[in-house]
Structure 1
Amino acid sequence: MDDILLATPDNPVPDNHFAGYFEGRGGVKIRYAVFRSAAREAKGTVVLLQGRSESIEKYFETIADLTARGLWVATFDWRGQGGSERVLRDHRRGHVARFSDYEADLKQFLEQVVLPDTRLPFFLVAHSMGALVALSQAPELESRIDRMVLAAPFVALAGQVMSQRSISLIANAATLFQLGSRTFTKDAPGLPFEGNVLSSDRRRFDRNRAICEKHPQLAIGPPTARWLKEMLAAIARVSRQEHLTRIHIPTLVLCPTLDPIVPRTVLNALARKFRAGRLIEIDGARHELFSEADRYRAQAMAAIDAFIPGSQAEHASLGA
């Protein structure tokens, strides 16, 4: 079990955990881990959902912060990335056949790992693509998840050479002509800190890069046309008023204001339609809030502290 999770010198595996694999949709092997809090009485369990191209290892610091607060953490790598089974022969390509595969894997994780092996109540903290999956599944999660925190939810694809509409048209056409496993950009591992759109914190940026340099099997490259097609279709669906109205789980949306990938204007527009959601802006932060500089990351963690687990009075006031 010890080699399921992979450490680097400045990124040790948090103590008091168990890890393994469960079977996702279609028999895909999905890596997971559960981290127990040392607190005598657990406040509940956070289901932690990562973004595209990430792995459990990237969240060791955040996991340690959450368990120190008396929460257990249950997390897994999405199919096709991290320590989970890849779905293409070229393991560097970020691919998914259907967005619903991600949803099915989340459902399996909740049923096979979280419900039998962790502590109630259950909360969900998700970043970027993980937050998109959470938004999509939220109407069906009401009986299981008490509260959700969505950090920079992937509900737009900005900051690219082409517009989101153009990317969508090309991705749909490529998939239609059986080119869904192709990528639009070249694989460029090890991009420099200077000019990056993810984090202003060099130490955490270098730490995350070192994880993939020491354990290259965890890394993936650019997304495929099929991945883009599936994500953009899901973005369009979850952003509609009729979908957001069906979500009753009290939700906190964390908006990094200098995120070029998911602009604050998009998240503010989403929040105006999202009755169960409230938005907090982290002024000056970039896309990866949990890997940001302390002055930004501390604000995100403080917002989570104030929201999870929450009081019964707060639940009532939010219509939970």
Structure 2
Amino acid sequence: MRRTCLALAALVLTACSPGEEREALDESRPPPSLPEPFQAPEGWAWGRLAPPAGPQLRYGVVAPAGRAARGDVLILPAYGEPAEVWFEAVRDLLAQGWRVWILERAGQGGAGRFLQPHDLGHSRGFAADAEAVRAMVGQVIRPASDDETALLAAGDGAVVALMAAQAGADVDRVALSAPALTPLPDARPWEATLGRIGLGRLPSLVWRPWSRSEPQDGAATSSDPRRRALAHRWETANPDLRLTGPSLGWRAAFERGRTAALSDPAAFAGPVLILSAGPAGTEAKGFCEGAPDCDIASLPASGPAPHLEQDSIRSLWFERLSAFLAEPHAEAEAKPAEPAPHEM
């Protein structure tokens, strides 16, 4: 009853006031007794990206120490995932020689938030998120012409990654981890209508205020209890990371973005890998059939967040991802050397 009353109060507050944006978080505090593999790797640094409109975005980066990087991997977390839950995967990629970045979209993780209550996920359009990815690559990462640059996107971040790649982001390949490409199961026509008349900032029916109890709306589920609790532990230690259910505007933005991302699979000519949690859905299969270079790798026993799964599943996920990222290097090593010119 108490949570229901809080939700109704938030509805009234959000509907009757324009809300206040919140600035991006500079640096998070690790939860107490957090095992080292889940902490930020040595050398990790945070930064901010200011889009033309809306709240600031937060990004992080780390590079291999004492050697040149193989290239760049930019991670786009799924809805409800702070960048911090990707630290274990960052460490794995770093060990393989990649320079690793994480970009949090507006209204997500430690990036700035659009409105109150701040644990309400909101979006003004996935096209703006895709443009932020293009700016991140072009203005911050600025890859050298001979460097390999890859996008690794999870959940609904896959929609943003595809839109950015199709719009000309300077990336060579795209890996989609358990992508959210299917329509929202409980989407209602009136949600889009409310958005069109300026009420998109209203919480959707699945939103609830953040609480210390689990599970949290929007949090990834996993069969591994340690990794499943990561997001909630970071959010408990850092209130600015807290996020639960989405607004009506976010849901409408997702549907528009999803439709746009799937409408022209051939718009991005580079390789795409879909790491499907369980059998691939109709949308993923249809996209892959229409894309110039696309493969699907199924992870049969995985939940919606393979990077947070138990070791057996997570190892297979990372093995497939690593092989995909290493393809250009493997091709270069396999290419026979040109014969030396004969001396005269």
TM-score by length of 2: 0.80
How many Å apart are 1:27 and its aligned residue? Answer: 5.4
- Which residue number in structure 2 is paired with residue 139 of structure 1? 166
Alignment counterpart, residue 196 of structure 2, candidates 136, 152, 176 = 176
Letter in 2 for 1:238: A
1:241-298: per-residue Cα shift (whole Å, max 9, x none)? xx1022201111100107xxxx634423332333321100001111111111111111
- Alignment CA distance shift 1:6-1:276 (3 Å): farther
Alignment counterpart, residue 229 of structure 1, candidates 252, 257, 265 = 252
Task: State the superposition RMSD in angstroms.
Answer: 2.5
- In the TM superposition, structure 1's runs of 4+ consecutive aligned residues that sit over 4 Å from their partners are 116-119, 312-315
- Which residue number in structure 2 is paired with residue 318 of structure 1? none
How many Å apart are 1:39 and its aligned residue? Answer: 5.5
1:244 aligns with 2:265: yes
Contact 1:31 1:76 (8 Å CA) reproduced: yes
Contact 1:123 1:145 (8 Å CA) reproduced: yes
Alignment counterpart, residue 182 of structure 2, candidates 156, 176, 183 = 156
How many Å apart are 1:137 and its aligned residue? Answer: 1.8
1:191-237: per-residue Cα shift (whole Å, max 9, x none)? 349xx972111111122221111112101121111111111111122
CA distance in 1, matches of 2:330, 2:84: 36
- Alignment CA distance shift 1:314-1:70 (3 Å): same
Letter in 2 for 1:249: G
Contact 1:251 1:278 (8 Å CA) reproduced: yes
CA distance in 1, matches of 2:103, 2:85: 12
How many Å apart are 1:168 and its aligned residue? Answer: 4.7
- Alignment CA distance shift 1:140-1:269 (3 Å): closer
1:284 aligns with 2:334: no
Paired residue secondary structure (2:303): coil
1:107 aligns with 2:130: no
- Which residue number in structure 2 is paired with residue 58 of structure 1? 85
Paired residue secondary structure (1:239): helix
Higher alpha-carbon Rg: 2
**How many residues end up aligned between the 2 structures?**
299
Percent same amino acid at aligned positions? 24
- Alignment CA distance shift 1:3-1:108 (3 Å): closer
- Which residue number in structure 1 is paired with residue 3 of structure 2? none
Q: Any stretches of 5+ residues in structure 2 without a counterpart?
A: 1-24, 333-344
- Which residue number in structure 1 is paired with residue 16 of structure 2? none
Mean alpha-carbon deviation: is it higher for 223-232 or for 170-179? 170-179
Contact 1:43 1:309 (8 Å CA) reproduced: no
- Alignment CA distance shift 1:27-1:267 (3 Å): closer
1:198 aligns with 2:215: no
Contact 1:98 1:230 (8 Å CA) reproduced: yes
Alignment counterpart, residue 83 of structure 1, candidates 85, 110, 117 = 110
CA distance in 1, matches of 2:107, 2:67: 37
Contact 2:120 2:207 (8 Å CA) reproduced: no
Letter in 1 for 2:182: A
